[in-house]
Structure 1
Amino acid sequence: MNETIIEGPLYEARRKVYPQAVHGRFRRIKWTILAVALAVYYLLPFVRWNRGPGLPSQAVLVDFPHRRFYFFFIELWPQEVYYFTGLLIIAAMTLFLMNAVAGRVWCGYMCPQTIWTDLFYAVERFAEGDRRERILSDKRGWTLTHIRQAVTKHFIWLMIAWWTGGAWVLYFADAPTLVKDLATLQAPFVAYLWIGILTVTTYTFAGHAREQVCIYMCPWPRIQAALTDEWALNVTYRRDRGEPRVSVKKAEQLRRHGEPAGDCIDCHQCINVCPTGVDIRDGIQLGCIQCGLCIDACDTIMSEIGRPTGLIAYDTDINGQRRQAGKPPVYRLVRARTVLYAAIIALVGSIMLYALATRSSVSLNALHDRNPLYVLLADGGVRNDYTVHILNKGTQRSFALDVSGLPGADLHIPGTARGADGRLTVEVEQDQTREIRLSVQVKSAMVPHSPVGIEIKATDTATGQTVGVEDHFVPPNQ
């Protein structure tokens, strides 16, 4: 029996990545998205929105004690969790659509891990210098200068991580009030707990794990590989133009003699600026987050040596094959899968908008008593009892009850008197649920087993909505 002996470690040791600063249009796009995203995240809890007396004035608030979610003019209840389902579907389809159009563009520009890691890299360059200085500093070891720089870097990292956790808890309580309570040590323990948890995770993931999160922890690189196709735009090294790799002087000599020479001069700038340390010239890889920084670095070098830019660019697999065959590039952003994803987004979004526009501020639910199904009255009539739940999400408080589909029916609620107009009226406070026992009776037991509609209508507003629910009236002869 033959045995195979594996020598050496089973896993590759981590190679520390020292991304170099780069300038260009994709770097500017990333800075813009970073600034906007962080501004929204950190400042949104302090935006005010007037909802009237007795309601929170924070524009975006997850109100766990009262089981509400507020988003500007939208107020969602736990019973409306389907809106969150719709948002998850839209988010998933948007991610799929982005992948079908431009690969891992989400990873490269909008992923929270990318945004915070970019911010931490900026702090690192501020404290310790660019790539060359950081490499030399690590080689020299722990000098006084290195210690001072490291302390400065980690202090700023911790402050960013701390405020990241602090901003998160502000979405769950009134932000100005909670900030004051946190500063005076009067906030709930759970607030300090979550700030601590998010401080540690942000500091660890953005400051230390960095590219390891993208390569080993995140499932999206593996999922998107199964969703992409040959028409998706990806950061691509145009091998047909770049090979063979030679120096600038050697390339000039080869071209003068009519021999092939690639535009790639093997300067390694595309590798040096990569936040995950991959070589894009080896093709699309798991570690490539499609951020486009290697494009900026390569374009800068091409401009300096007098060669056309675009040696590394967003391109498709199809175009790589077409260039090798001497054909012009072709781009097809509108195709079956992009149309399908866009259609699903539009459909789900339209359904959600329609549901929001037409939803009622009152919810009604009725449950027929099962034991007994009916009660025979002394006067020969029959009575059915129901448990009715009224959920009031609006400003109205007074509701009149009625039934339809059962002529001559009379309504009774224990302890509730009729109004001046003879209608049975109940009071339900705003943002409250009330359970009532409703009796529906008719004078004769000889009525068919028929559906009955229980309805309520707001009486204290000029345009009160009528909300109804259907059940059954069960007579003795059934």
Structure 2
Amino acid sequence: MAVHGTFRKIKWTLLFITLGIYYFLPFIRLDRGPNAPSQAVLVDLEGRRGYFFFIEIWPQEVYYITGLLIIASVTLFLMNAVAGRLWCGYLCPQTVWTDLFLFIERKVEGDRRARIALDKQPWTFSRVRKCATKHFLWLMVAWWTGGALVLYFSDAPTLVYNLATLQAPVVAYVWIGILTATTYLLAGHMREQVCIYMCPWPRIQAALTDEQALNVTYRWDRGEPRGSLKHNKALELQGLPAGDCVDCYQCLHACPTGVDIRKGAQLDCIQCGLCIDACDAVMQKVGKPSGLIAYDTDENIERRVEGKDSVYKIVRGRTVAYAAIIVGVSAIMLTALLTRDYAGISVLHDRNPIYVSLSDKGVRNGYTVRLLNKRTHERHFMLHVEGLPADTEITAVGIEDSFAGRPVIAIGPDRTRELRVLVVVPDARELAESTSITFRLTESVMGEVVTTEDYFKVPRGEMK
């Protein structure tokens, strides 16, 4: 049933915003420089990168995904603590696409009564045309939904062209087919079954909610005893109690999951607020105040029955704790993002031999050094070892460039480079058997520095 009102407007606004972002975000461009993709939001499986505007995530930074999952889950808890199933009623993809499919259905076949009448008609040309048009439009929406998701994994304009000219990879067509079919079935044919039977969130949120969380509530203190408008007016004239509910069932017909909210809180209710709009429209027609169904708490109903004022506690221990977790995790992730390195170094000491004694009393240690350049352009790094005497010699096998006796190593864009590095101390008699040293890698242009620690080994006992 078509519903008009405040909550319906909110749902339409969120639908256009969320679907607009989903469908068109892959086409937003962002210049990241040479050798980097220009798509603002991209999951680059081939390049092993994730891009979100100016944020770039590498495979070894899976902890950012963990942080985002924590934030998402706690945000759901916070929504539930404030006003029940806000996510389900307004932002869940199942709800958004179901609303869009229902809109198409109403525009093609008419509102609820018209569709009921149409179902009773024989299969005339008019009925076939309407049915075929509806399902064609559903399939087009589902097809573009599946196609839009695939665009997040490849350059969108290029992939669109390749799809249109049948040059795209087979896996792209397969996934578009799967996502088209699932969207068509879930939003077009399974609708409330997904919310009632398939989704686990109603069971979880029921365990998380408390008596002070706002939920779509039938205010039975005002609505009961319910009855038809004529019956209730007759009771009023006799001085008998009569509720404002006229038993019109508009709240039931407006509910996308078929819930009669007058029976109290139910797991099937996604709390979208459409029953509120439907009831308010009826109350306006019969000259009654709105709000017979509203976001409220059972505790407030009991308070009004006792003659007390309603109490709303949005800010309380539970909501503050959830908000603090979200802020804390976000701060940790932001700090890690702003202070992360765009280069890396790892060192593996030779095992056999651990050291080599030279004829001039010197000692040589060998290391396998792996260097990492996370930028998309070539960079030059200077390698230095700290913790050893000033006359220590550092040699990177195969590297001829040096500065102040330190090897200068070129690393290609988004590449690693493995080198054999030899460290020679000409006079190791003053060194301990194992000396902690630091390998320092310094970028030549921006001066970025990364370090790692290892040990320099000398023969056991004093060197003579």
Deviation string, structure 1 residues 150-193 (Cα, Å, up to 9, x no partner): 11011001111111111111111111111111100001111111
- Greater Cα offset, 89-98 or 386-395: 386-395
Matched, 1:102 2:83: yes
Counterpart in the other structure of 1:234: 215
Superposition pairs of residues 213-224 of structure 1, within 5 angstroms: 213-224=194-205
Give the alignment partner of residue 421 of structure 1, picking from 404, 414, 426: 404
Q: Contact 1:445/1:476 (CA < 8 Å) preserved in 2?
A: no
Matched, 1:434 2:420: no
Cα shift at 1:420: 4.8
**CA distance in structure 2 between the aligned counterparts of 1:217 and 1:375, rounded to whole angstroms:** 67
Counterpart in the other structure of 2:132: 151
Counterpart in the other structure of 2:388: 406
Counterpart in the other structure of 1:11: none
Q: Contact 2:394/2:405 (CA < 8 Å) preserved in 1?
A: no
Q: In structure 2, the residue corresponding to 1:424 is in which secondary structure? A: strand
Number of matched pairs:
457
Counterpart in the other structure of 2:322: 341
Q: Contact 2:71/2:326 (CA < 8 Å) preserved in 1?
A: yes
Cα shift at 1:317: 2.3
Counterpart in the other structure of 1:454: 439
**CA distance in structure 2 between the aligned counterparts of 1:278 and 1:50, rounded to whole angstroms:** 50
Cα shift at 1:49: 0.4
TM-score normalised by L of structure 1: 0.93
What letter corresponds to residue 119 of structure 1 in structure 2?
L
* Ranges in structure 1 where 5+ consecutive residues have no aligned partner: 1-19
Give the alignment partner of residue 332 of structure 2, picking from 339, 345, 351: 351
What letter corresponds to residue 107 of structure 1 in structure 2?
C
Using the aligned pairs only, state the percent identity: 62
Q: Contact 1:397/1:430 (CA < 8 Å) preserved in 2?
A: yes
Q: In structure 2, the residue corresponding to 1:210 is in which secondary structure? A: helix
Counterpart in the other structure of 2:18: 37
Deviation string, structure 1 residues 118-153 (Cα, Å, up to 9, x no partner): 100111111111111111222335333222111101
**CA distance in structure 1 between the aligned counterparts of 2:205 and 2:407, rounded to whole angstroms:** 59
Counterpart in the other structure of 1:474: 457
**CA distance in structure 1 between the aligned counterparts of 2:403 and 2:440, rounded to whole angstroms:** 19
Deviation string, structure 1 residues 383-429 (Cα, Å, up to 9, x no partner): 22222222212345100000111224321221112425332111101
| RMSD over equivalenced CA pairs, Å | 1.4
**CA distance in structure 1 between the aligned counterparts of 2:387 and 2:301, rounded to whole angstroms:** 71
Counterpart in the other structure of 2:236: 255
Deviation string, structure 1 residues 47-99 (Cα, Å, up to 9, x no partner): 01011122111111111111011111111111111111111111111111001
**CA distance in structure 2 between the aligned counterparts of 1:375 and 1:318, rounded to whole angstroms:** 80
Q: Contact 1:68/1:78 (CA < 8 Å) preserved in 2?
A: yes
What letter corresponds to residue 474 of structure 1 in structure 2?
K
Q: In structure 2, the residue corresponding to 1:321 is in which secondary structure? A: helix
What letter corresponds to residue 437 of structure 1 in structure 2?
R
Q: Contact 2:379/2:443 (CA < 8 Å) preserved in 1?
A: yes
Q: Contact 1:245/1:265 (CA < 8 Å) preserved in 2?
A: yes
**CA distance in structure 1 between the aligned counterparts of 2:122 and 2:302, rounded to whole angstroms:** 48
What letter corresponds to residue 437 of structure 2 in structure 1?
V
Task: Sort the Cα spacing of 1:367 and 1:258 in 2 relative to 1 into closer, same or farther, 3 A.
Answer: farther
Matched, 1:306 2:276: no
- Greater Cα offset, 443-452 or 327-336: 443-452
Superposition pairs of residues 167-246 of structure 1, within 5 angstroms: 167-246=148-227
TM-score normalised by L of structure 2: 0.96
**CA distance in structure 1 between the aligned counterparts of 2:346 and 2:298, rounded to whole angstroms:** 57
Q: In structure 2, the residue corresponding to 1:476 is in which secondary structure? A: coil
Cα shift at 1:445: 4.4
Matched, 1:368 2:353: no
Deviation string, structure 1 residues 245-269 (Cα, Å, up to 9, x no partner): 1111222222222211010010000
Give the alignment partner of residue 364 of structure 2, picking from 383, 395, 420: 383
Q: In structure 1, the residue corresponding to 2:352 is in which secondary structure? A: coil
**CA distance in structure 2 between the aligned counterparts of 1:284 and 1:266, rounded to whole angstroms:** 18
**CA distance in structure 1 between the aligned counterparts of 2:210 and 2:223, rounded to whole angstroms:** 24
Deviation string, structure 1 residues 311-364 (Cα, Å, up to 9, x no partner): 000011221221222211000011111111100100111111111222221122
**CA distance in structure 1 between the aligned counterparts of 2:171 and 2:360, rounded to whole angstroms:** 61
* Ranges in structure 2 where 5+ consecutive residues have no aligned partner: none
What letter corresponds to residue 41 of structure 2 in structure 1?
V
**CA distance in structure 2 between the aligned counterparts of 1:273 and 1:141, rounded to whole angstroms:** 27
